[in-house]
Amino acid sequence: MTDSEPNPRPPLDGVRVIDFTWIVAGPTCTRLLGDLGAEVIRVENQQTLDSIRFGRPHPNGFDPPDSGAMFNWLDRNKRSITVNARHPDGLDLIKRLIRISDVLVENYSSRILENWGLSYEEQQAESPEIIYVSLSGFGHSGPQRDYSTWGPTAQALSGLTSMSGMPEAPEPAGWGYSYLDHMAGFTAAAAITAALRHRRETGQGQWIDLSQVETGMALTAPATLDFTVNGRRYRDTGNPPGNRSVWPQAAPHNTYPTAGDDNWIMITCTSDSEWEAFCEVSDHPHWRTDARFATLPARLRHQDELDENIGSWTAGQDGRALMQRLQSADVPAGVVQNGVDLVVSDPQMKAREWTVTRHHPVIGEHLTDGLQIRYSRTPAHRDLPGPELGEANQYVFGDLLGFSDDRIAELQLNGAMG
């Protein structure tokens, strides 16, 4: 391989991760590590399976635990083993696996692994170089360390939820499905890559203690700064409603209906030249001379009438065609896309091969998202479907740990491979 040729190995090739994660936050972290080439070994217990294995949707004719769409999305590029950590032989299996692994990730409440006999100190006794990642609601210290949380509750406690809401509504609305779960997972994955670099340079492992609530608080920085400096609350009634701009240099600035069911387009004009171009495209040149809309200050004062006029016109337009016409005239505009748009209609996503076809041994071929990151030097990545429960038992316990078939059968019978 020359300096100009890409490396055929993915970025995290050679890194082995023990995955004690469930639901969304932890699996998001280990999924990204697996996407980038790490060997991720998911540790499961048949008596207490991750509820995501049973979550909808499931393809018609298929039943859990291996066919769920969300599970196979969150847990691709991973292997699955079944172990009962509360069985002495099961705990021994995990400790043996720690000795030949680089990272252990879990997102249980703070005392679970400690109660199993797998605290950081006990992991270090097996492998001083292990990188242990605990991704809990409040972290593993402080008076609230033992509180259990879910993504939406941690998000509310962090202040993120209070930043959302419909115009004029007193209550917050939340940020989609478990937004903070995904953000915490990405944050943990970034922290792991930094810890791997530190270990490469020093030989030292470490414990990464990540609080999901604090991750959310970091995302509230603009609102927090505005309150501490200016005393303004993020959702004060003085803030503009809906999708209007907080920055007082844009009008129009909103989403408008387009032809079809629940179709919308975002249109923004930040200068008089953009507004004039919009008037030409919309075939409403008289709006340029209307005293309510002729200048930016006037448009800002009359945004209700402005939005009503624009919405009445856009409602009969094809959204994607209108977006192209406006963009061609240098007017900022973009359709509000849904999942079908992204997978089927978006030419940019097609060109970037954002969706790929994968084969799953249970549900067959299906479309899913590919790797969102493009590396010029290390473009390769893993391409494994979500794992069937326990499909890697023979590989891990036999090939990696060196147990005989008879010993593996014994461990299955005595409940250690739960």
Sheet holding 333-335, edge to edge: 253-258, 263-268, 333-335
Give dist(CA 103, CA 98) in Å, integer: 8
Torsion 12-13-16-21 (CA) sign: positive
Which residue from 32, 25, 133, 123 is spatially nearest to 78, judged by alpha carbons?
32
Amino acid at 273: S
Strands (E), 36-180: 39-44, 79-82, 103-106, 131-136
Catalytic residue among 181, 209, 272, 399: 181
Please say if 181 is a catalytic residue: yes
**What radius of gyration do the chain's Cα atoms show?**
26
Give dist(CA 193, CA 36) in Å, integer: 11
- At 19, give phi and psi (nearest 5°): -110, 105
Report strand pairing: 103-106 vs 79-82. Answer: unpaired
Where are the alpha helices (H) located in 49-172, listed in sequence order? 69-74, 88-99, 112-116, 120-126, 151-158
Active site residues: 181
